[in-house]
Amino acid sequence: MTEEEIEKLTLDLSSLGAIDANIRESIIEEFHQMYLANRYVTQGGIEYARNVLETALGPERALEILTRLQSSLQEVPFEFLKRADPAQIVSFIQDEHPQTISLILAHLDPQVSSVVLSSLPQEIRADVVVRIATMDRTPPEIVREVERVLERKMASVFSQGFTFAGGVKEVAEIMNRIERGTEKAIMADLEERDPELADEIARLMFTFDDLVYVEDGGIQKALRELEQKDLALALKVANEEVSDKILRNMSERARDMIKEEMEYMGPVRLRNVEEAQQKVVGVLRRLEEAGEILIEGRGGGGEDEIIV
């Protein structure tokens, strides 16, 4: 499930309250029937499922269940392309007729289609856009034929079991989630083996020291989600610049409480400090990915640099 779906489900569960026993049994029974119907369709097709359900539940109930399943039973055109990287899709379709390309892009996720469209030869981009915009209903047999030809064209790639994963960004995501001491050791080794790669990965990573690049409003949002004990522990060995950044975004009372807790905390394990710092980083990364905060200077600017 996506994070958005998980959040929505959690919210619904928290406000659900008590459920009447009869309603609960009815829901479970309905789920069981839908599960069986789906299995019957998978095993023997729609007619087989209809016959079995009509025998067990009667024609009206069978029709109701199959109608609910209809949307999930419909085949999604170009479903196999979900396994492909946009760059691979471009390499396979860029020499096709613009009408064929537009048909394919119209059936893909808009985010994937946008990447593919941007990578097509400049001389055909506008033509493809016009064809997508003016596209009406396409006979299913034409869609299936284009799908069949393209799938056969790509079969040699997929039959070898290739997957499209990895890359510098993926490494940065992994490194951001591992224990701080391990991350430092890996990056130190990488600096010796391939300094350029190490620098590229570091630019994409977000560490506790990068808090200085977070806008003040972002720091304040993160502080509202962090426990005082974790924050005091995280600041125990923080450098002066990071400490100043966090403390100046607190109220005077909160700042005094953090300082007091740090004083009375006594000696602490470095591992516990790093775990607390990772909690702070985790909150900031989540807020950044949600577009709720801005990290001003990390990575040296680039295409997303904001110019005032």
Closest CA to 107 of 73, 141, 80: 80
pTM of the model: 0.39
Q: What is the largest CA-CA distance in the chain?
A: 75
Who's near 288: CB < 8 A, 6+ residues apart? 206, 218, 294, 295
Q: What's the rounded Cα separation, in Å, for the pair 76 and 78?
A: 6
Query: Around Cβ 252, how many Cβ atoms within 10 Å?
Result: 7
Who's near 147: CB < 8 A, 6+ residues apart? 77, 78, 80
| Helix (H) or strand (E) segment spanning residue 50 | helix 21-57
User: Per residue in 209-228, pLDDT tens?
Assistant: 888 888 888 899 989 998 88
pLDDT tops 70 at residue 255? yes
3-state secondary structure of 1: coil
Who's near 267: CB < 8 A, 6+ residues apart? none
At 72, list the tokens. Answer: 């999930």
What average pLDDT does range 163-180 have in this prediction?
Answer: 67
Q: What's the rounded Cα separation, in Å, for the pair 229 and 273?
A: 11
Who's near 307: CB < 8 A, 6+ residues apart? none
What integer pLDDT is reported at residue 307 of this predicted model? 30
What integer pLDDT is reported at residue 166 of this predicted model? 57
**Where does the pLDDT of residue 244 fall: very low under 50, low under 70, confident under 90, or very high at 90 and above?**
very high
- Give exposure, 96-119, as e/b (b: 16+ Cβ within 10 Å): bebebbbbbbbbbeeebbebbbee
pLDDT tops 60 at residue 200? yes
Q: 214 has which bridge partners?
A: 295
Rg (C-alpha) for the chain, rounded Å, is 27
- In eight-state DSSP terms, residue 84 is S
What integer pLDDT is reported at residue 162 of this predicted model? 44
At 215, list the tokens. Answer: 């806008």
What integer pLDDT is reported at residue 103 of this predicted model? 86
Q: What's the rounded Cα separation, in Å, for the pair 284 and 219?
A: 8
User: Per residue in 224-238, pLDDT tens?
Assistant: 998 888 899 988 888
What average pLDDT does range 242-248 have in this prediction?
Answer: 91
Go through the domains of the chain in sequence order and give each one's CATH number: 3-73 (no CATH), 79-158 (1.10.220.30), 166-205 (1.20.5.2020), 206-298 (1.10.220.30)
CB distance 281 to 212 below 8 Å: no
At 290, list the tokens. Answer: 């949600």
pLDDT tops 50 at residue 105? yes
What integer pLDDT is reported at residue 301 of this predicted model? 40
pLDDT tops 50 at residue 161? no
